[in-house]
């Protein structure tokens, strides 16, 4: 009696991105790694096949080569290896869209845990806000944590952004739109 042994696909090198195909279920919820990374795709795309490009910073979903959505990655290196086994992921080409979390020039991202919110700060700019995964009563028990000494930095504005404000008349009716074209990034 002979037993055929099928070798698993080669794992991608550490730190590289992987790429694979996934079909959007009727619910629109795609689970890449149970308990780690789940993404909601619009239900209008149910039944369509998307290309997923993933690394440790971003997960991009593409339809016919066009970006559908990009989300911050929660994937660890072992999760990328798991995707290779589960979906037949292969090493990916260049990143198809801007990263969900910009790479910090200093190479570090600071996480600020403030009550029920967690903020990511890179290069003195706020890059993301999420619900805090640590209960408030346990914040003081985190090794290496320190008390924040400064205010949160502003979120960077896109190039050429303008600021708009709408005033409401005392009677409750709308007033004309007022545009403030001053550069608010300084």
Cα–Cα distance measured from residue 70 to residue 148, given in angstroms and rounded to the nearest whole number: 30
Of the ranges 1-15, 25-39, 83-97, 106-120, the best mean pLDDT one? 25-39
- How confident is the model at residue 36, as a pLDDT? 87
What percentage of the chain carries pLDDT values higher than 70?
72
With H, G, I as helix, E, B as strand and everything else as coil, classify residue 149: coil
Of the ranges 9-18, 69-78, 134-143, the best mean pLDDT one? 69-78
- How confident is the model at residue 77, as a pLDDT? 83
Does residue 66 register a pLDDT over 70?
Answer: yes
- How confident is the model at residue 47, as a pLDDT? 94
User: 127 phi and psi, to 5 degrees?
Assistant: -110, -15
Q: Based on the structure, what is the number of domains in the chain?
A: 1
Residue 145 covered by a domain: no
Q: Would you place residue 28 in the very low, low, confident or very high pLDDT band (cuts 50, 70, 90)?
A: very high
Does residue 40 register a pLDDT over 90?
Answer: yes
Residue 64 covered by a domain: yes
Exposed/middle/buried for 7, CB within 10 Å: 0-12, 13-18, 19+?
A: exposed
Residue 66 covered by a domain: yes
Residue 177 covered by a domain: no
- How confident is the model at residue 164, as a pLDDT? 61
What is the side-by-side strand order in the sheet with 49-54?
A: 66-72, 58-63, 49-54, 18-23, 90-91
| Domain extent at residue 53 | 18-91
Residue 4 covered by a domain: no
Cα–Cα distance measured from residue 35 to residue 55, given in angstroms and rounded to the nearest whole number: 17
Residue 84 covered by a domain: yes
Farthest CA pair distance, the chain = 89
Residue 144 covered by a domain: no
Tell me 157's DSSP state.
P
Around Cβ 186, how many Cβ atoms within 10 Å?
A: 5
Residue-wise burial string across 136-162, b where 16 or more C-beta atoms lie within 10 A, e elsewhere:
eeeeeeeeeeeeeeeeebeeeeeeeee
Decide if 46 contacts 29 (C-beta within 8 A). Answer: no
Cα–Cα distance measured from residue 53 to residue 61, given in angstroms and rounded to the nearest whole number: 7
Residue 152 covered by a domain: no
Decide if 127 contacts 109 (C-beta within 8 A). Answer: yes
- Across 123-180, the runs of DSSP E, i.e. the strands, are 125-131, 163-168, 174-180
């Amino acid at each position: 009696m002979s037993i055929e042994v099928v070798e698993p696909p080669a794992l991608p090198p550490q730190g590289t991105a992987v790429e694979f195909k996934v079909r959007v279920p009727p619910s629109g919820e795609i689970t890449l790694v149970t308990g780690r990374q789940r993404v909601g795709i619009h239900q209008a795309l149910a039944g369509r096949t998307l290309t997923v490009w993933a690394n440790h910073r971003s997960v991009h979903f593409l339809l016919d080569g066009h970006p559908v959505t990009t989300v911050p990655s929660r994937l660890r290196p072992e999760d990328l290896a798991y995707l290779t086994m589960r979906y037949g992921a292969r090493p990916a080409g260049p990143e198809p869209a801007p990263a969900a979390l910009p790479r910090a020039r200093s190479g570090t991202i600071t996480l600020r845990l403030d009550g029920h919110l967690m903020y990511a700060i890179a290069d003195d700019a706020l890059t993301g806000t999420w619900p805090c995964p640590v209960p408030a009563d346990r914040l003081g028990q985190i090794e290496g944590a320190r008390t924040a000494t400064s205010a949160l930095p502003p979120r960077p504005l896109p190039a050429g952004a303008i600021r708009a404000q709408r005033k409401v008349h005392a009677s409750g009716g709308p007033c004309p739109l007022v545009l403030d074209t001053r550069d608010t990034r300084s």
